[in-house]
Amino acid sequence: MLLLHVVAILLAVNAKDSGGSSPARPTVNPLTIPVYLLDEKAKPLPPSAFPKGLLVDLGVIAGQIGGTPQVTVQRLNVNRRGEIQVDFALLIAQSAKYAALFQDPGKDANTLSPAGTRFARISTIASDDSDELSRGASNVVVFWDMRSNSSVVAYYCDRPCTLRGSASISDLNVHSPTPGLAWLGTKKNQRGLYVSKLVQNPAIALVIVPVRAIELVEPTAFSGRQ
Protein backbone atom coordinates (compact mmCIF):
# COMPACT_ATOMS: atom_id res chain seq x y z
CA MET A 1 0.00 0.00 0.00
CA LEU A 2 1.52 3.32 -1.03
CA LEU A 3 0.36 4.92 2.17
CA LEU A 4 2.91 2.83 4.02
CA HIS A 5 5.77 4.44 2.14
CA VAL A 6 4.67 8.06 2.19
CA VAL A 7 2.82 8.38 5.49
CA ALA A 8 3.10 5.45 7.88
CA ILE A 9 6.86 4.94 7.60
CA LEU A 10 7.38 8.61 8.49
CA LEU A 11 5.96 8.09 11.98
CA ALA A 12 7.97 9.53 14.83
CA VAL A 13 5.98 10.19 18.01
CA ASN A 14 2.39 11.53 18.06
CA ALA A 15 -0.04 13.41 15.84
CA LYS A 16 -3.06 15.47 16.88
CA ASP A 17 -6.58 15.12 15.56
CA SER A 18 -8.24 18.28 14.33
CA GLY A 19 -11.76 16.97 14.92
CA GLY A 20 -14.26 18.75 12.70
CA SER A 21 -12.16 21.87 12.20
CA SER A 22 -11.02 23.19 8.87
CA PRO A 23 -7.60 22.37 7.41
CA ALA A 24 -4.76 24.70 8.28
CA ARG A 25 -4.28 27.85 6.22
CA PRO A 26 -0.97 29.74 6.48
CA THR A 27 -1.54 33.19 7.97
CA VAL A 28 1.81 34.59 6.78
CA ASN A 29 3.01 34.34 3.20
CA PRO A 30 5.74 33.60 2.35
CA LEU A 31 6.29 31.57 5.49
CA THR A 32 9.77 31.08 6.96
CA ILE A 33 10.27 27.40 7.83
CA PRO A 34 13.20 25.92 9.79
CA VAL A 35 15.08 23.02 8.20
CA TYR A 36 16.53 20.26 10.37
CA LEU A 37 19.16 17.90 8.95
CA LEU A 38 19.56 14.82 11.15
CA ASP A 39 22.50 12.43 11.27
CA GLU A 40 22.25 8.63 11.37
CA LYS A 41 21.61 8.78 15.12
CA ALA A 42 18.69 11.18 14.49
CA LYS A 43 20.58 14.08 16.06
CA PRO A 44 20.23 17.52 14.40
CA LEU A 45 23.28 19.09 12.78
CA PRO A 46 23.88 22.84 13.13
CA PRO A 47 23.23 24.85 9.95
CA SER A 48 26.99 25.46 9.69
CA ALA A 49 27.40 21.72 9.04
CA PHE A 50 24.78 21.56 6.26
CA PRO A 51 26.10 20.50 2.83
CA LYS A 52 27.02 23.37 0.54
CA GLY A 53 24.21 24.47 -1.77
CA LEU A 54 21.45 22.68 0.13
CA LEU A 55 18.18 22.95 -1.82
CA VAL A 56 14.62 21.84 -1.16
CA ASP A 57 12.28 21.16 -4.08
CA LEU A 58 8.53 21.27 -3.51
CA GLY A 59 6.61 19.50 -6.26
CA VAL A 60 3.13 18.28 -7.12
CA ILE A 61 2.16 14.60 -7.43
CA ALA A 62 -1.09 14.67 -9.38
CA GLY A 63 -3.95 12.39 -8.37
CA GLN A 64 -1.93 10.10 -6.08
CA ILE A 65 -0.54 9.87 -2.55
CA GLY A 66 2.72 8.32 -3.74
CA GLY A 67 4.65 8.59 -6.96
CA THR A 68 6.85 10.97 -8.91
CA PRO A 69 6.12 14.70 -8.95
CA GLN A 70 4.87 15.97 -12.29
CA VAL A 71 6.31 19.43 -11.72
CA THR A 72 8.62 21.25 -9.34
CA VAL A 73 6.69 24.24 -7.99
CA GLN A 74 9.39 25.85 -5.86
CA ARG A 75 13.16 25.35 -5.63
CA LEU A 76 14.22 26.80 -2.29
CA ASN A 77 17.70 27.65 -1.05
CA VAL A 78 18.37 26.83 2.60
CA ASN A 79 19.89 29.98 4.10
CA ARG A 80 22.72 30.25 6.64
CA ARG A 81 20.25 30.12 9.51
CA GLY A 82 18.89 26.80 8.26
CA GLU A 83 15.60 28.18 6.92
CA ILE A 84 13.55 28.25 3.74
CA GLN A 85 10.77 30.61 2.65
CA VAL A 86 7.71 28.83 1.26
CA ASP A 87 5.21 30.71 -0.89
CA PHE A 88 2.01 28.90 0.09
CA ALA A 89 -0.15 31.00 -2.22
CA LEU A 90 1.90 29.77 -5.18
CA LEU A 91 1.96 26.23 -3.79
CA ILE A 92 -1.84 26.10 -3.55
CA ALA A 93 -2.30 27.70 -6.98
CA GLN A 94 0.04 25.21 -8.66
CA SER A 95 -1.54 22.31 -6.79
CA ALA A 96 -4.93 23.41 -8.13
CA LYS A 97 -3.48 23.66 -11.64
CA TYR A 98 -1.96 20.16 -11.71
CA ALA A 99 -4.45 18.29 -9.50
CA ALA A 100 -6.09 15.28 -11.17
CA LEU A 101 -8.75 12.66 -10.50
CA PHE A 102 -7.58 10.38 -7.68
CA GLN A 103 -6.07 7.00 -8.50
CA ASP A 104 -4.14 4.58 -6.29
CA PRO A 105 -2.47 1.65 -8.05
CA GLY A 106 -1.46 0.03 -4.74
CA LYS A 107 -2.43 -3.49 -3.75
CA ASP A 108 -4.73 -2.19 -1.02
CA ALA A 109 -6.01 0.84 -2.88
CA ASN A 110 -7.03 4.03 -1.13
CA THR A 111 -10.20 5.76 -2.28
CA LEU A 112 -11.30 9.39 -2.43
CA SER A 113 -14.90 10.56 -2.41
CA PRO A 114 -16.95 12.16 -3.83
CA ALA A 115 -16.26 11.02 -7.37
CA GLY A 116 -14.75 13.72 -9.53
CA THR A 117 -12.57 15.20 -6.76
CA ARG A 118 -9.24 16.51 -8.06
CA PHE A 119 -6.31 15.70 -5.77
CA ALA A 120 -2.59 16.43 -5.48
CA ARG A 121 0.09 15.70 -2.89
CA ILE A 122 3.00 18.03 -2.20
CA SER A 123 6.35 16.27 -2.63
CA THR A 124 9.55 17.19 -0.77
CA ILE A 125 13.04 16.48 -2.18
CA ALA A 126 16.43 17.72 -0.95
CA SER A 127 19.71 18.00 -2.87
CA ASP A 128 23.08 19.72 -2.56
CA ASP A 129 26.03 20.78 -4.72
CA SER A 130 28.14 17.69 -4.02
CA ASP A 131 25.30 15.15 -3.96
CA GLU A 132 26.29 14.35 -0.38
CA LEU A 133 22.65 13.66 0.52
CA SER A 134 22.36 11.03 -2.21
CA ARG A 135 25.41 9.07 -1.03
CA GLY A 136 25.28 6.46 1.70
CA ALA A 137 21.98 5.97 3.50
CA SER A 138 18.82 7.09 1.75
CA ASN A 139 17.18 10.18 3.21
CA VAL A 140 13.53 10.97 3.81
CA VAL A 141 12.45 14.61 3.48
CA VAL A 142 9.22 15.44 5.31
CA PHE A 143 7.18 18.31 6.63
CA TRP A 144 7.13 18.22 10.42
CA ASP A 145 4.57 19.53 12.91
CA MET A 146 6.53 21.09 15.78
CA ARG A 147 3.46 21.06 18.05
CA SER A 148 2.66 17.35 17.84
CA ASN A 149 6.24 16.29 17.02
CA SER A 150 5.26 14.16 14.04
CA SER A 151 5.67 14.10 10.29
CA VAL A 152 2.80 15.48 8.22
CA VAL A 153 1.92 15.19 4.55
CA ALA A 154 0.49 18.18 2.68
CA TYR A 155 -2.21 17.51 0.10
CA TYR A 156 -4.68 19.52 -1.98
CA CYS A 157 -8.28 18.76 -2.94
CA ASP A 158 -10.62 20.95 -4.98
CA ARG A 159 -13.69 20.28 -2.81
CA PRO A 160 -14.60 18.78 0.58
CA CYS A 161 -13.59 15.13 0.39
CA THR A 162 -12.89 11.95 2.34
CA LEU A 163 -9.76 9.84 1.90
CA ARG A 164 -10.15 6.20 2.92
CA GLY A 165 -7.98 3.14 2.97
CA SER A 166 -7.44 -0.01 4.98
CA ALA A 167 -4.70 -2.56 5.35
CA SER A 168 -3.18 -4.78 8.01
CA ILE A 169 -0.72 -2.08 9.09
CA SER A 170 -2.64 1.18 8.65
CA ASP A 171 -6.04 2.81 9.06
CA LEU A 172 -7.04 5.80 6.95
CA ASN A 173 -10.36 7.61 7.14
CA VAL A 174 -9.82 11.37 6.85
CA HIS A 175 -12.39 14.01 5.96
CA SER A 176 -11.18 17.36 4.65
CA PRO A 177 -14.14 19.73 5.18
CA THR A 178 -13.01 22.53 2.85
CA PRO A 179 -11.18 22.72 -0.49
CA GLY A 180 -7.53 23.72 -0.52
CA LEU A 181 -4.44 22.57 1.37
CA ALA A 182 -4.71 20.05 4.24
CA TRP A 183 -2.19 18.32 6.50
CA LEU A 184 -2.23 14.58 7.19
CA GLY A 185 -0.46 13.22 10.28
CA THR A 186 -0.08 9.69 11.66
CA LYS A 187 0.19 7.99 15.01
CA LYS A 188 0.56 4.40 16.11
CA ASN A 189 -2.26 2.97 18.21
CA GLN A 190 -2.16 0.22 20.85
CA ARG A 191 -2.73 -2.46 18.23
CA GLY A 192 0.30 -1.34 16.26
CA LEU A 193 -1.72 0.16 13.41
CA TYR A 194 -0.74 3.51 11.89
CA VAL A 195 -3.79 5.77 12.14
CA SER A 196 -3.89 8.87 9.92
CA LYS A 197 -5.76 12.01 10.97
CA LEU A 198 -6.11 15.60 9.85
CA VAL A 199 -3.82 18.04 11.68
CA GLN A 200 -5.01 21.60 12.17
CA ASN A 201 -2.72 24.64 12.32
CA PRO A 202 0.57 22.73 12.32
CA ALA A 203 3.76 24.58 13.24
CA ILE A 204 5.64 23.54 10.14
CA ALA A 205 9.33 22.63 9.86
CA LEU A 206 11.13 20.53 7.26
CA VAL A 207 13.14 17.50 8.39
CA ILE A 208 15.76 15.56 6.42
CA VAL A 209 16.56 12.25 8.09
CA PRO A 210 18.21 8.96 7.01
CA VAL A 211 15.64 6.20 6.56
CA ARG A 212 17.38 3.99 9.11
CA ALA A 213 17.13 6.72 11.77
CA ILE A 214 13.40 7.47 11.50
CA GLU A 215 12.44 5.35 14.50
CA LEU A 216 15.15 7.05 16.57
CA VAL A 217 13.73 10.56 16.22
CA GLU A 218 12.73 12.11 19.54
CA PRO A 219 10.62 15.25 20.20
CA THR A 220 13.57 16.93 21.91
CA ALA A 221 15.51 16.90 18.63
CA PHE A 222 13.59 19.99 17.53
CA SER A 223 13.54 22.01 20.76
CA GLY A 224 16.29 24.28 19.47
CA ARG A 225 19.42 24.56 17.38
CA GLN A 226 22.68 23.09 18.62
* CB atoms inside a 10 Å sphere around CB 91: 23
Domain chopping of the chain, boundaries: 2-222
- Give every CB contact of residue 112 below 8 A, 6+ residues apart in sequence: 102, 119, 157, 161, 162, 163, 164
pLDDT digits (tens, 9 = 90+) for 62-101: 999 888 899 999 999 999 999 999 999 999 999 999 999 9
3 pLDDT higher than 60: no
Rama region for 133: left / alpha / beta (φ>0; ψ in -120 to 50; rest): alpha
pTM assigned to the model: 0.80
pLDDT for residue 1: 34
pLDDT for residue 147: 85
* CB atoms inside a 10 Å sphere around CB 208: 23
pLDDT digits (tens, 9 = 90+) for 96-152: 999 999 987 665 578 899 999 999 999 999 999 887 776 555 888 999 988 887 889
Q: Cα–Cα distance between 121 and 70 in angstroms, integer? A: 11
Q: Cα–Cα distance between 102 and 20 in angstroms, integer? A: 23
pLDDT for residue 4: 33
pLDDT (mean) for 1-7: 34
pLDDT for residue 224: 55
pLDDT for residue 21: 35
What are the distances in angstroms from CA 179 to CA 69, 95, 158, 160, 195? 21, 12, 5, 5, 22
Quick one: what percent of the chain has pLDDT higher than 90? 50
pLDDT for residue 107: 57
DSSP 8-state secondary structure symbol assigned to residue 38: B
2 pLDDT higher than 50: no
13-32 as b/e: b if 16+ CB within 10 A: eebbebeeeebbebeeebee
- Pick from 62, 59, 186: nearest CA to 122: 59
For residue 217, name the pLDDT band (cuts at 50, 70, 90).
confident
The length of the chain in residues reads 226
> Whole-number mean pLDDT of the chain?
80
For residue 182, name the pLDDT band (cuts at 50, 70, 90).
very high
Higher pLDDT, 194 or 13: 194
CB 154 within 8 Å of CB 181: yes
Quick one: what percent of the chain has pLDDT higher than 70? 76
